[in-house]
Each structure stands twice: as structure tokens, then as C-alpha cells.
Amino acid sequence: MVIFDSVSLQDPRTGWKANVTFWVRFFVGGLFVGGTILLHARLVISELSLTSKQIVVIVLTSALGYTALLMLLAETWMFPVPFTYTIGGMFFMLILSTLVMLTLGRTNQEQLVKIFNFTKSLSVQALMALMYPAYNATFLALDGDGQLAFVLLLPPMKMSLKYLTAKMNPIDDDFMPAMMSSVDIFDAMYMTKCMQSASSLKVGCAIILIDFLQNYWAIWRLEKRTQALQSAWVNCDDGARNQASGTLLPFVFQVIRQTDRLNSSVLRFGSTRIAVSEETRKELSHVNLIIGARPARPKKRCAKPAVGPSLSSPRLTVVPGLEKSAKEAEIIRETVALLHASEAVAMVEYIEAVVPIIYAIYIAILFHLPNARYYQDMAGFTEEKLKVVVMNILAYGVMEMLSLLHVQRRINRQFGVSVFYQLAFALENEWQIYQCCFLSWIIVVFQFLLGLAGVGQHQNLWL
């Protein structure tokens, strides 16, 4: 974005034909976004048979096509085109999806279904690109008290979009937190922009408070599930429980080491695309050998007590060893699910801490670049106002950092594992997905208030 804004744009009043720099910028932005989308698709659909050459051709054609369509709109309608990035995004996704499906052909029916489902999941991002600009236009038109009330809409918007993302993403659960990060990144960027545009200190404090309450609610739910799981320890092996030192993870490791009770259905090893250390790989191989060497229990032994009619209590028909083993298996499954959920909470905190810092650095640089005058949210900026805005955004980022440290303390107390290890693991193995989301949304969101992107008409049409 800094490189984009280092190249001077032409005055929009000179017409669309004179604004060559804007159209080149629009085209190059499309190349980046298209590349990240197809890279994203290859990451979550491992069997997707698109070569690098095919991807380059598809991205180039899509970027050219949607730029040409926007130029046609500018000629026949108006310039700047209202909702430039929203309208252009719809054209772009239509062209991109069509080209991908034509490239795969009818012979790859399975891949066509998967890419179609992946495209459906991207419709949630298109919905974000429509909802948030409308929200922002209304937010800017309100006064202090109106903005304060309007901020309350952000949490339900975020929750609804995350729900839709989860429902419409046909991918491995291992990648779900990374896919959810698209909503978190987008929301964090708009929360930061609201901090910049807030007309009073009360509004800024309300934004921070709402964000804190959302995070507190997520941690509270984790702790409730953890407490319920801890109550199940009481009837488990005393030796394992004593070695757990009050935290879940050491206890579960102890249970897993008791290989005579480990069943192959208890653990589902993660995606083969996840990188692990050599030591961890050896341990997983050892567990696989143990599971493979142990004869599986006949299903009838488990099925008879469950379906056979009996006048006695069901508990009396269960073999004690099997009941204990089943309870330990359930503890392992629930602990793994809780760790997965805690990783998602930690990643949200990390994103919400990093995005304000990135944005503060960006606007500090943008203020000194020639294109700053074309951004609506930079209008009337002076050195003093810039300092105040940057300090407010950085204060928001510091609050998020403190919130991340708070999450670290509470999760470490419950699980016996640092969230920083979880973050490092997620960022190391899924960095490409996170990078795709960051890059695409930075290109789109940071330019929403660019005058040549139709921000004036954008606001007038909504209101």
C-alpha cells in the first residue's frame, strides 16, 4: 500500500480517461487479490490440479476483465464509480470462478464441486465488503452519541459473519481457525478505522470496552468447559491425576502414555500438511505402531449393553475397565477440542493487537505521501491531529497486547501450555493462509475511503 500511494494519482475531476494511475493501481491490486485467492484455494483443497501457469493466466485475465468492466461503467455511468471495490469485487469473483471451472473442465467433477463450495465460502467475504462500507458511511454521518450507539452493532455483525464462514467452509477442521481469521482481520481493521474516525473519547473507550467484553466472554466459555472437564477427573486414575498438577495437558499426556488403554478411535492425527519437529514425528510414529499392533476390540462388546433390553441400570452392564477407558478417551477428545478453541482465541487476540500497529504505521507514512489528500479519513489532517490519531490507535493496540497477555496467563493456568507456543505453531504451519487474508484485506480495506474509489458517491447513495 505504501508503494501504491507513493505514485501520485490524478484529480478525479479530470475524468476517468485521465486517471491512468488509478486504473493501473486497480489492475495490480486485482492481481494480488486474485493470486491470494487461488493460493488460498490450493492450500485448503490439496488435490486441486491447477498448475502455476494456469493460475497466472486466470489471475491476469480476471484482473484485466474486471478493470475493463469498471472502465466501461465509468464511461456509461459516472466517475468515480460508487461502490468501486464492492462492484468490482463481484465482477472479479464472477470472472475468476468461471475461468477456474472452465480450466478444470467437466472431467474433474469432484474438484469442481470442491472449488464451487470454496467459492460459496468466499461469498461471506463479499458480504463483508458490502456490509462494512455501509456501516462506515453511516458511522461517519452520525454525531458522538449516535456513533456510541452504532458501535454496538459491530459484535453481532462479527458473530454472524463467523457463523456463516463456519457453515459455508467445506474444509478440514484443522484449518477452520485460519479461515475464521479472515473475519477477524476485516473486523480488526474496521475497529481500528472507527478508532480513527471516532468523534469523541467516549466512542473510543466504548470500542475498547466492547472488544474487551467479547474477549472476556470467549475466555469465560473456555473456562466453563474446562471446569466441566476437570470434574470428570475425579473418577480417573489417581496417579495420573496427581501428576497433572491441576492442569489438563499434563494429565492427558499421562493418560496417553498408558498405552494399554489407548484406542485408535481416540486420537485423529492432524493434517499431513502440518509441520512438526523430528522428535514429535518420532513420538507420533511410536503411537501409530502401538495402535497398529494392538488388536481392535470387537464392536459387539460395546454394542450389547447399549441396545440389549435390560431392567437393570445401564451402568451395571458396563465392564468397569471399559467404562474407565471410555471416560479417559472422552477427556482426551474434549481436551484436544479445548486446545483448538484456545488457539482460536489466542489468534483473535494476536490479530487484534497487530492490526492497529500496522495501521498506525501506515497512516503515519501516508500523511507524508502525495495521495493522502484523496483519502476521506485523512481530510483536514495536521501534524497535531496525526499525532493524536496515531496515539489513540497505538493505545488501542497496547490494550489488545495486554489482553493477549491476560489470555496467556489464564490459558496457561488451565492447560499448562503457553498461548505463544500455540501462536507460533499456527503461524508456522498456516502462515500462507494468514498472509493471504492479511494481504487481500489490506489492499481492499485500506482503499475503501479513497476518493477515486467512489467514496463520496458511496456515502451519498447509502444515506
- Ranked by mean pLDDT, the top range of 61-75, 288-302, 336-350, 441-455 is 61-75
C-alpha of 278 from chain center: 29
- Burial class from Cβ neighbours inside 10 Å (0-12, 13-18, 19+) for residue 51 reads exposed
Please write the tens of the pLDDT for every residue from 297-322: 444 443 333 333 333 333 434 445 55
Q: How many helices (H) and strands (E) does the chain have?
A: 18, 0
- Mean pLDDT value of segment 54-67: 93
Q: Residue 265: pLDDT band by 50, 70, 90 thresholds? A: low
- Residues 30, 273: Cα–Cα separation, whole Å: 28
Q: Are 326 and 332 in contact (CB under 8 A)?
A: no
What is residue 52's predicted lDDT score, i.e. its pLDDT?
Answer: 87
Say if residue 80 is preceded by a cis peptide, omega within 30 of 0. yes
What is residue 257's predicted lDDT score, i.e. its pLDDT?
Answer: 64
What is residue 443's predicted lDDT score, i.e. its pLDDT?
Answer: 85
Q: Which residue has the higher pLDDT, 418 or 211?
A: 418
Q: Residue 58: pLDDT band by 50, 70, 90 thresholds? A: very high
3 state DSSP class of 21 = helix
Please write the tens of the pLDDT for every residue from 343-376: 888 888 898 889 999 999 999 999 999 888 888 8
Residues 6+ apart with CB under 8 A from 425: 343
Please write the tens of the pLDDT for every residue from 404-434: 898 888 888 877 788 888 888 888 888 888 8
User: Is residue 334 scored above 70 in pLDDT?
Assistant: yes
What is residue 62's predicted lDDT score, i.e. its pLDDT?
Answer: 94
What is residue 285's predicted lDDT score, i.e. its pLDDT?
Answer: 62
- Residues 230, 9: Cα–Cα separation, whole Å: 61
- Mean pLDDT value of segment 264-269: 51
**335-361 core/surface letters (b: 16 or more CB in 10 A; e: else):** beebbebbbbbbbbbbbbbbbbbbbbe
What is residue 97's predicted lDDT score, i.e. its pLDDT?
Answer: 87
- Ranked by mean pLDDT, the top range of 46-55, 222-231, 313-322 is 46-55
